Amino acid sequence: MVRRVRRLAAVALGGVAAMLLTLVFAEPAKATPKPKPPAGVDITGHGLAEPLRLRADSHPEHVNAVIEQVNFRELVRQSTKPKAAELGPKYTVVVLAGDVPKQTYDLYPTATGGPRIHRPAKQPDGRKVNAAWFLGRINMSETLRTAGVPLERTIEAISGGTGGGERIIPEDALNPAQDINEAFGELRRLLLLNIAVMLVITFGLAGIALLIRRRTR
């Protein structure tokens, strides 16, 4: 009888331990993945006999680099319109989602005082936006050149940001959802480990008590 009880206790303890270990070492839920970038960009302008068509499946680095140039959320807005004589050659960038044009911007990589970007009020997807001018990234000319636009090579680094330099803190380090998720994951592992230890001790004491009780009868 004692052996049977011990076998049942061992089986139950093993099942509980296996379940807890599975929960402890299971990967915590990942943060919601970022949406994929648009499928491509079309570039037209000075020196281009026909549109330069870049797609994410064949030129992912160039597509992402050009889209980053027109990400106005990271750009500095300019309060006044630059003089036309100071803008230089214009290149129009159309951002597409699949084959559908969504956004359009006019880029001036060689403007006096640094690159400029103009966002027209009329957008291809029908959105209503205010026309605006932005200070472009200092590496705009080099980014367009490496993508296929006939521009002279410049000394700016590919990683340069608006007004020079690059982001010091990596983009991955600015994801609060991921940090919170990891913190909860570690807390869950700690709690489950404590529960596992308590269950092992409880089952052990129960087994010892049962064995002593059987022998003292």
Instruction: Specify the range with the lowest mean pLDDT, choosing from 46-50, 92-96, 155-159, 209-213.
Output: 155-159
Using CB atoms within 10 Å of the CB of residue 44, give its burial: 0 to 12 exposed, 13 to 18 middle, 19+ buried.
middle
pLDDT of residue 200: 82
Nearest alpha-carbon partner for 102 in 37, 161, 149, 162: 37
pLDDT of residue 196: 82
What is the Cβ-side half-sphere exposure of residue 18, based on CA atoms within 13 angstroms?
A: 6
pLDDT of residue 20: 56
CA separation, residue 199 to residues 74, 190, 212 (Å): 53, 14, 20
142-187: per-residue pLDDT in tens? 999 999 999 998 765 444 555 443 433 344 444 555 556 666 677 7
Predicted TM-score of the model (pTM): 0.56
Higher-pLDDT residue of 106 and 204 is 106
For residue 6, what are the contacts with CB-CB under 8 A and spacing of at least 6?
207, 211
54-109: per-residue pLDDT in tens? 999 899 999 999 999 998 788 889 888 999 999 999 999 999 998 899 999 999 99
